[in-house]
Amino acid sequence: MKPRDLASLVDIIEAARLAQSFLAGIDRDNFDSNLLIQSAVIRQIEVMGEATKRLSEAFRNDHPHVPWRKIAGMRDILIHAYDHVDPDEVWNAVTVAMPGLLEQLELLLKSQRAEG
């Protein structure tokens, strides 16, 4: 594994953990009314997408089970369509999709480190 791929994978995982931690103890109503939390969560999703784009094409192709395009695509939406961000999509990304994704990424990181 290339050092840049390792660093990017770690960045994705750390950003996902942060996004989840920002929602710890927060219900949907609080999320909807708290722009600071929304901004913090959105920023971490942006970091995840940017780090995904930094992964080598070879690494992404070697691990097609990870939804790399969706991760990067979410970043693109948040950056380029910032004025049309749907809080439902952000909430669902972190509370529904991210737990399984994070587990998948952590297993991938563990296997990559084991391979040396």
Which one from 60, 63, 69, 80 is the annotated catalytic residue? 80
Structure tokens at 71: 């991760």
Rounded to whole angstroms, the Cα distance separating 88 from 93 reads 8
Are the CB atoms for 6 and 105 separated by under 8 Å?
Answer: no
CA 69 to chain centre: 11
Are the CB atoms for 17 and 103 separated by under 8 Å?
Answer: no
Which one from 17, 63, 75, 113 is the annotated catalytic residue? 75
80 is a catalytic site residue? yes
65 is a catalytic site residue? no
Catalytic residues: 75, 80
